[in-house]
Amino acid sequence: MKREWEGESIVILDFGSQYTQLIARRIRAESVFSVILPHSAGIEEIMAENPKGLVLSGGPADLTEENALRLEVDIYSLGVPVLGICYGMQLISQMKGAELERADHREYGHTKIEADTDSALFRGTPVEQKVWMSHGVRLKSIPAGFRAIASSVGCPIAAMSNDEERIYGLQFHPEVFHTENGIEILQNFLFEICCCDKVWSSKSFVELEVLRIRERVGDARVLCAVSGGVDSSVMAALVDRAIGKQLVPVFVDNGLLRENEAEEVREILAGCLTTDLVFVDAADEFLSRLNGITDPEEKRKIIGTAFIDIFERESEKHGPFAFLAQGTLYPDVIESRSTFGPSDTIKSHHNVGGLPDEMSFELIEPLSLLFKDEVREVGKFLDLPAVQIERHPFPGPGLAVRVPGAIVREDLDLLRRVDRIFIDGLRREGLYDDVWQAFAVLLPVRSVGVMGDERTYQKAAVLRAVTSTDGMTADWARLPYDFLQDIANEIINKVDGVNRVVYDISSKPPSTIEWE
């Protein structure tokens, strides 16, 4: 079954650019729904999205080569405006018979263009504007029926249009922040050229999703796991709004959470769900299974298996369930290229780590069309408290991967106290939202110190704070020295058992964000 989105959309055909998701997000930020489909999508697949316009993304391939990615369908038969960006523009040109050539020098970064501000795409923008170029191939000639509407020194055809056929091309990237008038150019495409309406919003999303979930679920019951993270909380709040007490959210306290976290999550969710949370205190079970285990991968496996065992037990206790709801987001969908629809019966659950074969549910993934920032917006609309929505990511295996080596309860307690001081400090100084993630690690290393007249021989704690956009790459956060000094002092003074604090200045790659 196809997803039946009632609104209209802009379809982005993906040729593999690192910026493709950014194009979709920029368009949605204008209250126009956009979807990303693979460049190989068929006409029916594209039409199912009810497109008001089509964008061909950039891409890393070289169109002067034979086996570069090309279109497999006649997109012009759709009768909607088309915008090619970078590779997309080159592809349109090549298909329309123009010649491409390798540029004398590859053009990367800031470039100044002169734009024809009478053209629909550049209307309301300045003649001279700074744009972000990233290409090694350019147009040698312009295809018949097109005219150049912008040029730069290195690229005489920096943008082109065929107004009659409503086909446009930009050699630069309007979606990136460095293109000064990028948003205006995209707005012109959306509203002047495609005549889109501003109908996409958290409100319209929630209203429609609630109806869809109700229709699919009927009077069946739905199981879900909540971790306290943003995605599962928003997912549960949304499904709760649709079906209330037919939803059974299970929260497993694995004993590896931060200080008071289990209680805080319980309170927050109790405040925004109408259904009752199933709270499972499984700390002892997890810790006894982890006893003496030092290998990071083994720790993860044990935690994953323990979670499944407990989740299965709870599912039997509270079941039967026809559906499992989970907080999968759009980037996962794009990356795995999964199809929409309820027919995907799962045997494995990436957030949980693989459910056993005999547990098979139909899957409900109500956030699978959303980017993270949109999930936060939906969370706000559903009245989740800001502190829940702006939370840093937290790994499934919890503090187990922040205590290198064997895990004992006392070390977890020490780590919780260190972590609390660090996080509270970040919040107090208004630094929490500036970093992607911040946390402490307790090292299995003792060092000598002196406190008052006494020699100490205690553990060392690491503070880690990183900036990132997606967790795939990360840089260490340049937190102010004075702040780090105050936090280190506070930790050493207040946490008996830690006499040394170090700050992790490794980036990812080559390091990872977590220590294990």
Residues 449-488 as x/- pattern, contact with ligand XMP by CB under 6 A:
----------------------x-----------------
Q: Which residues in 421-450 contact ligand XMP (CB under 6 A)? A: 437
User: Considering beta carbons, is residue 486 or 514 the nearer one to ligand XMP?
Assistant: 514
395 is a site residue for ligand XMP (CB under 6 A): yes
User: Considering beta carbons, is residue 41 or 256 the nearer one to ligand XMP?
Assistant: 256
Is there a catalytic annotation at residue 175? yes
Amino acid 456 reads: T
Catalytic residue among 8, 39, 49, 86: 86
Contacting residues for 189 by C-beta, under 8 A, at least 6 apart: 53, 55, 81, 83, 121, 168
Q: Which stretches of 328-408 are DSSP H helices?
A: 330-336, 372-381, 386-389
3-state secondary structure of 85: strand
> Would you tell me how many other CB atoms lie within 10 Å of the CB of residue 177?
11
**Looking at 89-97, 98-106, 389-397, 490-498, which segment touches ligand XMP (CB under 6 A)?**
389-397
User: Considering beta carbons, is residue 192 or 514 the nearer one to ligand XMP?
Assistant: 514
In the complex, minimum distance from the CB of residue 138 to ligand XMP, in angstroms, rounded to a whole number: 38
Contacting residues for 274 by C-beta, under 8 A, at least 6 apart: 240, 244, 245
Written as six digits, the tokens of 378 are 């939906």
User: Considering beta carbons, is residue 274 or 512 the nearer one to ligand XMP?
Assistant: 512
What is the DSSP secondary-structure string of 363-383? EE-TTTT--HHHHHHHHHHTT
* Burial of 121: CB neighbours in 10 Å, binned 0-12, 13-18, 19+: buried
In the complex, minimum distance from the CB of residue 29 to ligand XMP, in angstroms, rounded to a whole number: 24
d(CA 92, CA 82): 9
Total number of residues that touch ligand XMP (CB under 6 A): 11
Catalytic residue among 8, 49, 107, 175: 175
178, 190 in Cβ contact below 8 A?
A: no
Sign of dihedral through CA atoms 253, 258, 264, 269?
A: negative
User: Considering beta carbons, is residue 9 or 368 the nearer one to ligand XMP?
Assistant: 368
Among 396, 405, 449, 497, binds ligand XMP (CB under 6 A): 396
In the chain, how many H helices and how many E strands? Answer: 14, 19
Among 16, 156, 393, 449, binds ligand XMP (CB under 6 A): 393
Written as six digits, the tokens of 179 are 């293109």
Contacting residues for 102 by C-beta, under 8 A, at least 6 apart: 62, 64, 136, 137
514 is a site residue for ligand XMP (CB under 6 A): yes
**Looking at 9-17, 194-202, 233-241, 388-396, which segment touches ligand XMP (CB under 6 A)?**
388-396
In the complex, minimum distance from the CB of residue 395 to ligand XMP, in angstroms, rounded to a whole number: 3
In the complex, minimum distance from the CB of residue 407 to ligand XMP, in angstroms, rounded to a whole number: 15
In the complex, minimum distance from the CB of residue 167 to ligand XMP, in angstroms, rounded to a whole number: 41
In the complex, minimum distance from the CB of residue 235 to ligand XMP, in angstroms, rounded to a whole number: 14
- 466's enclosing H/E stretch is strand 454-467
d(CA 243, CA 277): 14
Among 3, 130, 178, 508, binds ligand XMP (CB under 6 A): 508
**Looking at 63-71, 129-137, 198-206, 392-400, which segment touches ligand XMP (CB under 6 A)?**
392-400
Could you give the residue numbers annotated as active site? 86, 173, 175
Q: Which residues contact ligand XMP by CB under 6 A?
A: 300, 393, 395-397, 437, 471, 508, 512-514
